[in-house]
Amino acid sequence: MKVYFIGAGPGDPELLTLKAKRILEESDIVIYAGSLINMDILKFTRRNAALHDSSTMELGEILEIYKEAKKAGRTVARIHTGDLSIYSALQEQLDWCDKEGIDSEIIPGISSFQAAAASLKRELTLPGVSQTLILTRISGRTEVPAREGLEDLARTKATMVIFLSTHEIERVVDQLAKGYGEDTPVAVVEKASWSEERKIIGTLGSIAEKVKEAGIKRQALIIVGDVLGKTYQKSKLYDANFEHGFRKKKGS
């Protein structure tokens, strides 16, 4: 018996990893976040697999399924959206499985911030602009430590991706502008990689009004930073004059 925690990616079923697809095809029980995942992913499950939508369940109910699966010797696939390493409520499940002697494995997935960057056709770390990527959220019912406030993080001028915060776009912009400045480019991507994906492009001075007009409040993320602009240095990696262990400089 084993519980597989699967990162289902941002939405497009074709962005599911090959390993995740194989586990879904083999698992006896599948628990999925019905309010978030693309339901087409369930097409990869076994025809006779027991399916449970966790959007209506409490943690104790989910853990009870793991416990019963252990007694019956059945394999469980637990599907979360995106990648499990961020904002997935995973750790408490892993710790419980360890305590109960239930074998578990994490299968990573593609995060929505990666899908959003791909859709925008932007690299989030550019030479001479930013070599740091900050993943964060605004404080809400889940509090963010005071030392990680958006205003303080914005002073780094690093590329920032803000999750779970679009419904508070005005508060987000107000805090970010104090560090970045109102002319800093911003993109809001709703349902990255889904067929109904939407992108809103602007600056910190204009993005809040654009997002409000579009009616975007959830399942979207905010990307801010000068990497969304047009000015940057070319990478040295493929520069003819840049030497490394696999390539000598031209003429040397």
Residues 9 and 34 in one domain: yes
What is the CA angle 25-42-38, rounded to 5? 140
101 and 116 share a domain? no
- Residue 45's domain comprises 3-107
* Domain count within the chain: 2
- Regarding whether 222 and 122 lie in a shared domain, the answer is yes
Ranges of the chain whose pLDDT falls below 70:
236-247, 249-252
Residues 197 and 129 in one domain: yes
What does the pLDDT read at residue 232?
A: 77
> Does residue 217 fall inside a structural domain?
yes
Q: Are residues 103 and 116 in the same domain?
A: no
Query: In terms of domains, do 21 and 83 share one?
Result: yes
Residue 5's pLDDT is what? 98
Q: What is the pLDDT of residue 188?
A: 98
φ/ψ of residue 82, rounded to 5: 60, -135
Question: Would you say residue 9 lies in a domain?
Answer: yes
Residues 164, 57: one domain?
A: no
Task: Express each pLDDT in 79-99 by its tens digit.
Answer: 999 999 999 999 999 999 999
pLDDT value at position 213? Answer: 97
The pLDDT of residue 234 is: 75
Residues 204-252: pLDDT tens digits? 999 999 999 999 999 999 999 999 998 777 776 666 666 666 657 666 5
- Is 137 found in the same domain as 90? no
Cα separation, 130 vs 123, in Å, equals 10
Domain limit, last residue, from 87, 107, 127: 107
Domain holding 167: CATH number?
Answer: 3.30.950.10
d(CA 244, CA 235): 13
Q: Is 237 contained in some domain?
A: no
CATH classification of the domain holding 103: 3.40.1010.10
pLDDT at 252: 59
> Which of 223, 125, 124 lies closest to 172, judged by CA?
223
* Distance, CA of 216 to chain centre: 18
Q: Between the CA atoms of 153, 155, 159 and 162, what dihedral angle is there, to the nearest 10 degrees?
A: 40
**98 shares its domain with 138:** no
Report the C-alpha gap between 6 and 23 in whole angstroms: 9
Q: Do the domain assignments include residue 247?
A: no
% of the chain surpassing 90 pLDDT: 89
The reply to whether 92 and 152 lie within a common domain is no
Q: What is the pTM of this model?
A: 0.90
